[in-house]
Structure 1
Amino acid sequence: MFNGVRLLLFALCVMLMPAHARAEDGYDLWLRYRPVTDAAALPRAVERRGDSPTLRLAEEELTRALAAMAGDGRTRGPRIVLATSADAEIAALRLPTADLGTEGYLVRSVRLGNSPAILVTANSDIGVLYGTFALLRQLGTAAGIADLDLTSTPRIGLRVLNHWDNLDGQVERGYAGESIWDWWTLPEYTGPRYTDYARANASLGINGTVLNNVNAKADSLTAPYIAKAAALADVFRPWGIKVYLSARFSAPVELGGLPTADPLDPRVQEWWNAKATEVYRAIPDFGGFLVKANSEGQPGPRDYGRSHADGANMLARAVAPHGGIVMWRAFVYADTDPDDRAKQAYTEFKPLDGQFADNVLVQVKNGAIDFQPREPFHPLFGAMPQTPLMLEVQITKEYLGYNTHLAFLGTMWEEVLDADTMVQGAGSTVARVVDGSLEGHRLTGIAGVANIGADRDWSGSTFDQANWYAFGRLAWDHTLSAEAIAREWAALTFTPDPALVQPVTAMMMASREYVVDYMTPLGLAHLMGTGHHHGPAPWVADLARPEWNPVYYHRADRQGIGFDRTASGSNAVAQYAAPVAARYADPRTTPVEDLLWFHHLPWDWQMADGESLWGTLVARYDRGVAGVADMRRQWQTLAPLVDPERHAQTDAFLAIQQRDATEWRDASIAYWQSLNGLPLPAGAAAPAHPLEYYQSLAYPYAPGHPD
């Protein structure tokens, strides 16, 4: 009896606890809507004009947010009016809505009738929804709503997440638990998490999602799985999100019983035509197919002596009558260009420029290898003027410490988007290639390999949510700065208090460079452990194919280190426009961050500051480790401003990162010393263990690696 009373009292206490005292699990992402200081200034009501599922979502979002922000206070601000530009009273205002397109928005302080109002308008209901989230960003960052005038139109048309999710629930390169798609209970059960996923994406302007892994199973195109995809499409549709599927090129053989998947065979073409019709019958607004072909063992048109254009165009013809598109990946990792893996995509795709159908996007990774901590921009950007190129980046951190290393990737993506291809002179940036403005393409796209899983906090850590956020914001407007995005995210995710926002933004902006320093400084690349890509393994040299081995990428020996990609080596520099190639061809003009990517240099090479290459390399390792330690100390000072749950998790993860960074530094230096026989620069600490210790370390069952 006594225990029962105690339990009842405990339950009552929990029920009476204020909301802010409950455990913070990160589920709310950047849509937390906590009480604001000046609640009285908040808008007092929401007026929706017109009716559609999407407009109702906008109204519900604002109503929920304003109630949460007001807390117990009374609001006296102007009302919010949600309406499309077709509304008669809105049209009479003669606002500049003509250039908003189908997704842009305008949020402005106006007078409607005899009273002031905040108008959220657009040419479509989805534009109104995007404007709603823009207004809420303004409120959540304490930016103020007096004399509002927010106008924005997306610079890139297709803003898509690629989920590398398998049908068995595993996520390849996923570090946030299993897949959020519960294929077993679909299509009958579509739980609230799917709606919350769509809502989070809509808040960023993401308008597409590829549901399954690029290493696709043909089963994804069978009737039961099409029905499951259709159920998700129904959930996502009001949020402006289209569903796409990765297509296995050999599906006509595996599912259709055909003897071939040759794209020029009429039987194969008819099979795909029928399959496309079946998919669109279930999902009328289906976006189209993503294809990985002739890469890492995946089947493709080259199996039949055909080109990538032959394969892409066959699928493009199948989806074209339905308004669909094909995203054909240029990641062709196979043993067909033995002198330099970095040259392969250019070698295969450059000759095909102008041969792809109008509804095909060639999807190109940011760099020519594989989502490394740093790579020069991919030489295909600017090299295929007659073909729309879709930038592919990796939000999940396969090579950047998984979910436990703090690495804000907004700086990485800003770096590649701002890179100048020089193909039409200065200002021919990768961003202008991707948004179509450089070469006049109307079909444009950007894709991010998602870091989303079934973990309660979605991304496996609080700061990995920032990379999802940054991708969405840059996909919408690549002119935004990474720093502004980091500041915005910090304010929305924690608090707009400058005492937190300023140091957190500083941590984020420096974080990725620290990872580069302790993993792959000065342009080194692909030094991670085999398969799982975790931890240092620059010594691996015994794998079957040369380009599987880290030694292939650094080429270090007693004389020097680095991959010679100049005319005296693989001549990969020749794949860039002449001014860029000339800069990369000379180690004196090559950016120091890319030095060893393009040059094999002696250990005693004199850097611009007079220091030796060896001394600079060790200093970069030390800088990376010290930077992580600084972030950890800074984070610990912020405990009073962050809820204890998220603060404790991040503090623990920073401790893991500091340990791993030290291991990277010590193992790498020990290995380089085993080759060059050089003493450490003055003041540099010796590795904590001999090289054999680091070579003995193993990481079985590392996450994100299904094998």
Structure 2
Amino acid sequence: MRVLALILGLVLIAPAARAEDGYDLWLRYRPVEASARPAYAARAAAIAPPGSSAPDTPTLKVARAELERGLTGLVGKPASAAAGARDGVIQLAVAPAKDLGDEGFRIRTLAVNGRKTTVISANRDIGVLYGVFRYLELIQTRRPVDSLDLTSVPKVKLRMLNHWDNLNRTVERGYSGQSIFDWWRLPGHVDARMVDYARANASIGVNGTVLNNVNAKADSLTPAYIAKAAALADTFRPYGIRVYLSARFSAPIEIGGLKTADPTDPAVAAFWKAKANEIYRAIPDFGGFLVKANSEGQPGPQDYGRTHVDGANMLADAVGPHGGVVIWRAFVYSHEQPDDRAKQGYSEFKPFDGQFRDNVVIQVKNGAIDFQPREPFHPLFGAMPKSNLGMEFQITKEYLGFSTHLVYLGPLFEETLRADTMAHGKGSTVAKVVDGTLDDRKLTVMAGVANIGSDRNWSGSQFDQANWYAFGRLAWDPEASARDIAIDWTKMTFGDEPRLVKPVVDMMMGSREAAVDYMTPLGLHHQMGEGHHYGPGPWVSGGPRADWTSVYYAKAGPDGIGFDRTPSGSNATAQYAPAVGACFADLKCVDEKDLLWFHHLPWDYRLKSGDTLWDGMVKHYGRGVAYVDGMEKTWAGLAPYVDARRHKEVADYLKIQRDEAQWWRDASVAWFGSFSKRPLPPGEKAPARSLEYYESLKFPWAPGNGQ
């Protein structure tokens, strides 16, 4: 507990925020303009002292410290306890309320002992902390707080970050420096940055974090590393964040001295039960295991002729007595290459619906391939009503320009969550699968592959912070609006000036579609460079697996382009509910944004615009480049409203994005033009360099590959 006491002390005495370099994220707490204070912050005068309604737990200490810190910054005066205050008192209360659950909160303006009081109440102290962050957000975004009646309850139970961080501090698909987890110095030294990491996550309702890469090392489960994880757990606990570990399935062999990891072997089951007991002795509120098994060379139950059910249930039995969960990733594909890799996750998991333990969650990527700029929703959503299904989004932009492209992922997340699975008729959205309401599931999960690193701005760029923020907001409420989230983030991150907010939000809301246009328009997918996934690589072929190549997915040739997943092709459309699959397979029904995902079409196929497919592709590529041009110009005009340091960083990155969008356009047009043999549409310029030049580019040291 000495570590916990130290961390709490650091929170209470933390100095004022440092210079504007992005470190403060959306928790900047800059002063509200004086003219607006009467409307927005007049009631922020005094924090009631601890009392019987809110005992002084570590979490409530954190809540009071955050409230003090926020109000001091926003209102410009201390908000210390003032027993004699006549008005404007803020009271924190832990009180029973049937409609709030374990983490919900209520903020109401009430008369308490004759004084107008803002009461932030919840069933548990963590709900109070969430309420404090929400109250400060209201002031930051200039919403009135003098008469409140607000209730908020999270719709998803486990709202988690998945860190792909390695023990040597490299981060797989990380574009913002080293891992923030300094395993070498733990457990003796817990970096103070861990507190701000916890604060940021708590402010958006994230309540769990997986500390290590899904491509796990067995060392993570040894006593030395369990002690290191325990030190982080002590730090995060007051903020309501549980720690989880990725478990390497072959750990019984690598650190347990066994000759097998067969999940049906009693000795293997005994190893995992003993390991779970050991972890829970060190971390009583340990969340459980995340497992990547039998995918991309990782060990798993299929190595022994067993099933995913055998492996997941064996681990679930080990952590179950402690209240732990097993999160089993559905991102699997075997050494035996199928006719269509998009079908494999469904094929391997659908037959086992209803056979997994109640404390097992199948974690499913938003699409069936791999975090592409656009994918139709994964067919498993809506297809396993008797199992717990969780959503896995990628916050780090492995396929979307790393940290230097401004691509706001809120619209991508929203598009997936609002997609209708039609599993129980119209309105059976993915969001309702994820929050459990569609099939009355209680153990629900939304996970995001983190984009956090040791860079001062946390995420590698200022705007990538918005993707972390948007993930948390949508995990709390999967039906929230991506635009509303962007507005709040912009106001908290850059300021409330209307001449800034609207153009920034407009930029953000169109940025994902622009990236789709200049990378993979009209349903194309997996056209990135090999291995590192940096830049265009539509010519990538060969290697150990066809389904690791770009040509496998585009299937471009003189006859046309696109992957036929209709009944005349791989029949992947049959994995969806009949109405959905029939629409995807029908050229008159399918949305053109998914066209080449499901159909192989001739170059002269007519789009709804009247353009041929070839002309339409070229125009989409150019439209994406033009959008980035527009963002550059818009941002340049916002210099008076943004501090110079952050403005220059964003401007520099937009120039990189502009150059790389043009590279994507030119390389793709050169490659696909070698098959179409059609002229470019009027007004479209030829690629700046030859196809041979683009193919010759190599990037052996592109970031994000370290393990």
Q: What range is the shorter-chain TM-score in?
A: over 0.9
SS at match of 1:159: strand
One-letter amino acid of the structure 2 residue matched with residue 85 of structure 1: A
- What amino acid is aligned across from residue 208 of structure 2 in structure 1? G
User: Are the aligned partners of 2:86 and 2:115 in contact in 1 as well (CA < 8 Å)?
Assistant: no
Maintained 8 Å contact 2:95/2:123: yes
Name 1:91's counterpart in structure 2.
none
1:125 is aligned to 125
CA separation in 2, counterparts of 1:370 and 1:42?
A: 48
Deviates further, 608-617 or 480-489:
608-617
How much has 1:73 moved relative to structure 2? 9.7
Output the amino acid matched with 2:91: V
SS at match of 1:289: strand
Question: Counterparts in 2 of 1:216-365, with a 5 A limit?
Answer: 216-365=216-365
Give, in whole Å, the separation in 2 of the partners of 1:297 and 1:623.
Answer: 39
Note if contact 1:316-1:360 (Cα within 8 Å) is conserved in structure 2. yes
Number of matched residues? 679
Separation in 2, partners of 1:251, 1:365: 25
Contact 1:491 1:501 in 2 (8 A): yes
Please state whether the residue corresponding to 1:615 is helix, strand or coil: helix
Measure the CA separation in 1 of the matches of 2:90 and 2:19: 32
Matches within 5 A, 1:306-705: 306-705=306-705
TM-score between the two structures when normalised by the length of structure 2: 0.95
Instruction: Give the distance between the partners of 1:163 and 1:116, measured in 2 at CA.
Output: 44
Matched residues in 2 for 1:542 and 1:268: separation? 39
Q: Could you tell me how far apart the structure 2 residues matched to 1:221 and 1:619 are?
A: 52
| Aligned-pair CA distance for 1:42 | 4.5
- Checking the alignment, whether the CA contact within 8 Å between 1:206 and 1:241 is kept in structure 2 is yes
- 540-549 or 291-300, which deviates more: 540-549
Matched, 1:30 2:12: no
Aligned mates of 1:69, 1:23 — CA distance in 2: 16
Structure 1: unaligned runs, 5 residues or longer: 1-18, 87-96
- 2:5 is aligned to none
Query: Are the counterparts in 1 of residues 106 and 122 from structure 2 also a CA contact under 8 Å?
Result: yes
Q: State how far apart, in whole Å, the 2-side matches of 1:406 and 1:622 are.
A: 17
Q: Could you say what secondary structure the match of 2:110 adopts?
A: strand
Aligned partners of 1:336 and 1:344 also within 8 Å: no
Report the 3-state secondary structure (helix = DSSP H, G, I; strand = E; otherwise coil) of the residue aligned with 1:518. Answer: helix
Between stretches 587-596 and 607-616, larger displacement belongs to 607-616
Give the CA deviation at 1:71. Answer: 2.4
Maintained 8 Å contact 1:42/1:66: no
Distance in 1, Cα, partners of 2:476 & 2:78 = 35
Offset at residue 333 of structure 1 (A): 2.7
1:72 positional shift: 6.0
**What is the distance in 1 between the residues matched to 2:285 and 2:222?**
18
Kept in 1, the 8 Å contact 2:328–2:363? The answer is yes
Distance in 2 of aligned mates of 1:77 and 1:61? 21
Residue by residue, what CA displacement relative to the aligned partner does 1:240-287 show, whole Å, maximum 9, x if unpaired?
000000000000000111110000000000010100000000000000
Whether the 8 Å CA contact 2:71–2:78 is kept in 1: the answer is: no
Deviations 1:209-259 (A, max 9, x none): 000000000000000000000000000001000000000000000011111
Q: Corresponding residue for 1:8?
A: none
Distance 1:431 1:134 in 2: 23
1:428-476 CA distances to partner (integer Å, 9 max, x unpaired)? 1111111110101111111000000011111001000000000000000
1:143 matched to 2:146? The reply is no
The amino acid that maps onto 1:123 is: N
CA contact (8 A) 2:614 2:676 kept: no
Q: Which moved more, 1:177-186 or 1:331-340?
A: 331-340
Partner of 2:116, secondary structure, is strand
**What SS does structure 1 have at the residue aligned with 2:463?**
helix
Deviations 1:141-188, CA, capped at 9 Å, x for gaps: 011112112210000000000000000110000000000000000001
Distance in 2 (alpha carbons) for counterparts of 1:181 and 1:609: 51
- How far is the alpha carbon of 1:39 from its aligned partner? 3.7
Distance of 2:336 and 2:37 partners within structure 1: 63
1:59 corresponds to: 64
CA distance in 2, matches of 1:540, 1:35: 52
Give the distance between the partners of 2:435 and 2:367, measured in 1 at CA.
18
Report the alpha carbon displacement of residue 337 of structure 1 after superposing the two structures with TM.
4.2
Instruction: Answer whether contact 1:42 1:70 (CA < 8 A) is retained.
Output: no
Partner amino acid, structure 1, of 2:132: T
- CA distance, structure 2, for counterparts of residue 423 and residue 204 of structure 1: 30
Query: Which residue identity is paired with 2:92?
Result: L
Question: Structure 2: how far apart are the matches of 1:391 and 1:259?
Answer: 35
Distance of 2:87 and 2:173 partners within structure 1: 47
Aligned mates of 1:473, 1:196 — CA distance in 2: 18
Quick one: distance in 2 between partners of 1:76 and 1:145? 17
Q: Partner of 1:602: helix, strand, or coil? A: coil
Residue in 1 aligned with 2:7?
A: none
The residue number in structure 2 matching 1:158 is 158
3-state SS of 1:561 partner: coil
Letter in 2 for 1:55: L
* Cα offsets for 1:324-373 (capped at 9, x unmatched): 00000000033334210000000100101111001000000000000000
Counterpart selection for 1:80 from 87, 90, 93: 90
When the two chains are superposed, the root-mean-square deviation of aligned CA atoms in Å is 1.4
Q: Which runs of 5+ in 2 are unaligned?
A: 1-15, 80-84
Contact preservation (8 Å) 2:436, 2:442 = yes
Asked if 1 retains the 8 angstrom alpha-carbon contact of 2:68 and 2:78, the reply is no
Alpha-carbon deviations, 1:634-691, whole Å to 9, x = none?
0010000000010000000000000000000000001111111110011111111111
Give, as a single letter, the amino acid of the residue that structure 1 aligns with 2:515: V
CA offsets, 1:81-135, max 9 Å, x none? 111115xxxxxxxxxx321001000001111110101110011100000000010
1:77 CA drift (Å): 6.1
Distance 2:679 2:488 in 1: 46
Q: Counterparts of 1:311 and 1:106 in 2: how far apart (Å)?
A: 41
Identity %: 62
Q: Distance in 2 between matches of 1:553 and 1:176?
A: 30
- 1:514–1:628 CA contact under 8 A, matched in 2: yes
Tell me if structure 2 keeps the 8 A contact 1:342–1:572: yes
Kindly provide the amino acid, as one letter, of the partner of residue 34 in structure 1.
Answer: R
CA displacement, residues 31-68 of structure 1 (integer Å, 9 cap, x when unaligned): 00001113452510111432101111111111111111
Q: Which moved more, 1:137-146 or 1:298-307?
A: 137-146
Residue type of the alignment partner of 1:63? E
Q: Distance in 2 between matches of 1:584 and 1:24?
A: 47
SS at match of 1:651: helix
Please tell me whether the aligned partners of residues 562 and 601 of structure 1 are also in contact (alpha carbons under 8 angstroms): yes
Structure 1 residues 377 and 76: CA distance shift in structure 2, 3 A: farther
Q: Secondary structure at the match of 1:530?
A: coil
Greater displacement, 60-69 / 39-48 = 39-48
